[in-house]
Structure 1
Amino acid sequence: MKRELGISIYPDHSVIEEDKVYLKKAADLGYTRLFMSMLEVVDGKDKVREKFQDIIMYARDLGYEVILDIAPSVFGELGISYDDLSFFAELGADGIRLDEGFDGNKESQLTYNPQNLAIELNMSNNVAYLDNILSYEANRPFLYGCHNFYPQRGTALPYDFFIECSQRFKNQGLKTAAFVTASGGNQGPWDVNDGLPTLEMHRDLPIALQATHLFATGLIDVVIIGNGYASDEELAELAAVDRYKLKLNCDVLPTVNQVEKDILSESGHFRRGDITDQVIRSTQVRVKYHDVANPEHNHQQEFKRGDVVIGNDSFGKYKNELHIVLQPHKDDRKNLVGSIPENELFLLDFIKPWSKFELKQP
């Protein structure tokens, strides 16, 4: 399934003209999903139509898939039945996200709505909710999953629980989404906004690193910025994230030589299939650079987790093989050439046998 990026806007807390500027900036960078909150709606159908329809149609013209976040109270406020979703289609929405669930059969019936709106489910519960819906023969192409975001510091999902919840949806082949948070964004649905991530571990990380992690799990198809507005710099940084191959930053030592620079810059690194616990081995570079000399330097210290080393001339047939260190060790046949930043070390766990990866040099 192709992977996407998205943004969020909150029309009850924003100015439409500013929303449009934000939407255009993100669209020009390749963002294609729009999450729009309707949780705060209190004005009745006419006011809602006036407020939401223009901005939704503008987003649709820019190529966004628009999903409206709906709570049961919204249906009551608007006088709408779950059996007739035509009002949301009239607004121009592509789907609705159910913040709360029903009995399984109701959700299944909703996926057959004549307006062909996608029905997006809350993914942030590790229960058999999805299995129940699917047992009622839901219309799978119109069934999505999306995690919650968490405005209050300390309340977002722990990683292991996130994985268990996400696997329930991904194992069924459904499109999945989760939220990252922009460092300077101050818009959200409520008056508390300590950031809007899905994962608590992401709350203070750079936005690109948050997204890289979500995509690396293999369980999330759509990464959405939960709060508005992300800065121009953050929009660009997130847009530059490779959604399919893991790319790690590497702080390179000034002592590296030309062959080591060339090896570090290779785009075809992959972890050898018969793995070891001590290092991640990229072995094909030693074949490509077999005849190129690589004198010893920075080779007598103990290497630590995240260090990037390359075999030197004393390493025989393993000269110019690249390793990323997983366990501390000493080996003077390897030159230290750089290191993975501390806040990215957890990503090493996602380089599995045969995983492709690149090293980015700031």
Structure 2
Amino acid sequence: MGQIGISLYPEQTTVAKATAYLEMAHQLGYRRLFTSLLQLSGEKGRDQLAIFKAVVAKATQLGFKTIVDIAPPLFSELEIDYHDLSFFHELGVWGLRLDEGFTGQEEALMTHNQYGLKIEINMSAGTNYVDAIMPFGPRLDNLLGCHNFYPQQYTGLGDERFVAYSQKFRHYGIRTAAFVTAPSADHGPWPISEGLPTLESDRDRAIASQVHHLRLTEVIDDVLIGNAMASEADLHAAALAFFCPYPALRVHPTAAISELETKIAFSEAHLYRGDASDYLVRDTQPRIRYAGQAIPAHDATGTLHRGDVVVVNETYARYAGELQIVLRELANDGRRNKIGQLTDSDLDLLPLLKPWRTFMLKHVKS
């Protein structure tokens, strides 16, 4: 199973605030920490290194695995030789992320470092970067991949490109990571506050939906919140989504939903029937589990729209109890009770449900 993580930028906070944030996240199950050395250049950066070390030490004490972002030019400025990664070992980090790459040979060599440090490479470039590393025999258990985050609105990766870039890493069995953004978080590494997601489509999405989005792509192991100092509510929502047994879509239930329909929709996981229709996602198991129970008709007229969630009622006896999600507009002939509608954030995720995959529905207030 992957891990969920947070980000901290020590030059923009105090050790006390960073410690409190780490402790809160740790209690919720967060175990990865992303931070950056890219801002610690020049004399001012060297002065801030003490704060950085204190934050990393606290994170390590709590059991976090810290990855530090760095670029090749900073190797020269800090007088680090890629043959000798003792600087990072002394920092106490789990590994280093190369924001920009070398030639492939250097990355492969670094994976064989004597400290067991992880070498995380950029997944978002869309080049043959990872292919260039493989001929040099990297130690794969020390090689990780992580996408960028994008502070500037409209610059995040598109969904299809994201999956294509990620699949190259999956092909090699490399552990992958990507970023979501917390609406409540107050800063990132740069003085821009437009969110820090990997995917542009996630920028304005609820944080739980962002996490489920990444899970539904089936190409990401670890999920990281890119901006720092998220609220406890956002941390909790993201953690619940990450540790949910299956990816979930969120639903606004109707006022008339019955107790039995609530149980059918929200109390257990759903299996998307494999002989898939263009009109409906179908889970046929509830009609077996709840066979013979009364499901009177209600909210069963008019037109059903994409994202409507329905339960087949007792007037369609053979299929009564079946849960369905509408994919394409259709007329309701009185045999399907509309019990809810996917949230706006999650409606776009509907195409990511795949036949024979298991998913869940989560109740949210309108």
- State the TM-score, normalizing by the size of structure 2: 0.94
| Aligned counterpart, 1:312 | 313
- Name the structure 2 match of 1:126: 126
CA–CA separation in structure 1 for the residues paired with 2:185 and 2:235: 11
Change (3 A) 1:296 1:49: closer
The equivalent residue for 1:16 is: 15
Shift in CA distance, 192/257, structure 1 to aligned 2, threshold 3 Å: closer
Query: Residues 1-362 of structure 1 correspond to what in structure 2 (within 5 A)?
Result: 2-43=1-42, 47=47, 49-243=49-243, 244-330=245-331, 331-362=333-364
1:172-204 Cα shifts (integer Å, max 9, x gaps): 111111111111323222223321111111111
Conservation of the 8 A alpha-carbon contact between 2:179 and 2:198: yes
Q: Look up the equivalent residue of 1:347 and give its one-letter code.
A: L
Provide the C-alpha distance between the structure 2 equivalents of 1:93 and 1:311, rounded to a whole number of angstroms.
54
Residues 210-259 of structure 1 show CA distances to partners (whole Å, capped at 9, x for unaligned) of: 11101111111111111111111111111111445122222222222333
Please say if residues 283 and 322 of structure 1, whose CA atoms lie closer than 8 Å, have aligned partners that are also in contact: yes
Structure 2 distance, partners of 1:256, 1:286, is: 17
3-state DSSP of counterpart to 1:176: strand
CA displacement at 1:75 relative to structure 2: 1.5
Cα distance in structure 2, aligned partners of 1:268 and 1:25:
29
The structural deviation recorded for 1:43 is 4.9
Structure 1 outlier segments of 4+, above 3 Å? 43-49
Distance 2:229 2:223 in 1: 15
Taking structure 1 as reference, are residues 261 and 49 closer, same or farther at Cα in structure 2, changes over 3 Å only?
Answer: closer
Q: Quick one: distance in 2 between partners of 1:78 and 1:225?
A: 28
How far the C-alpha of 1:292 sits from its partner, in A, is 1.0
Q: Distance in 1 between matches of 2:200 and 2:262?
A: 36
Going from structure 1 to structure 2, the CA distance change for 1:40 and 1:259 (only over 3 Å counts) comes to: closer
Q: Please tell me the residue identity of whatever aligns with 1:317.
A: R
Q: Which runs of 5+ in 2 are unaligned?
A: none
Question: 2:212·2:249 contact (CA, 8 Å) conserved in 1?
Answer: no
Residue 273 (structure 1) shift = 1.4
Cα distance in 2 for partners of 1:345, 1:122 equals: 30
Supply the distance in 2 between the matched residues of 1:55 and 1:342 (Cα, whole angstroms): 38
1:7 is paired with a residue whose SS is: strand
CA 226–258 in structure 1, closer or farther in 2 if over 3 Å, else same = closer
Question: 2:281 is aligned with what amino acid?
Answer: I
Aligned length in residues: 361
Is the CA contact 1:41–1:74 (under 8 Å) kept in the aligned structure 2?
no
> Could you list the runs of 5+ residues in structure 1 that have no partner in the other structure?
none
Shift of 1:42: 2.5
The whole-number CA distance in structure 2 between the counterparts of 1:233 and 1:249 is: 17
Q: Is the 8 A contact 1:41 1:77 kept in 2?
A: no
Structure 2 CA distance, aligned partners of 1:155 and 1:262?
41
Q: Which amino acid aligns with 1:11?
A: P
Deviation at 1:14, TM superposition (A): 1.6
CA deviation after TM superposition for structure 1 residue 150, in Å = 1.2
Contact 1:97-1:120 within 8 A present in 2 as well: yes
Distance 1:191 1:253 in 2: 42
Percent sequence identity over matched residues? 41
Secondary structure at 2:315's aligned position in 1?
helix
The SS at the match of 1:299 is coil
CA offset at residue 73 of structure 1? 2.6
Q: 1:257 to 1:190 in 2, by over 3 A?
A: closer
Cα distance 1:202–1:212, how it changes in 2: closer, same or farther (>3 A)?
same
Other structure's SS at 1:164 match:
helix
What one-letter code is carried by the residue in structure 1 that aligns with 2:83? D
CA 1:342/1:49 → structure 2, altered by over 3 Å: closer, same or farther?
closer
Over aligned residues, Cα RMSD in angstroms? 1.6
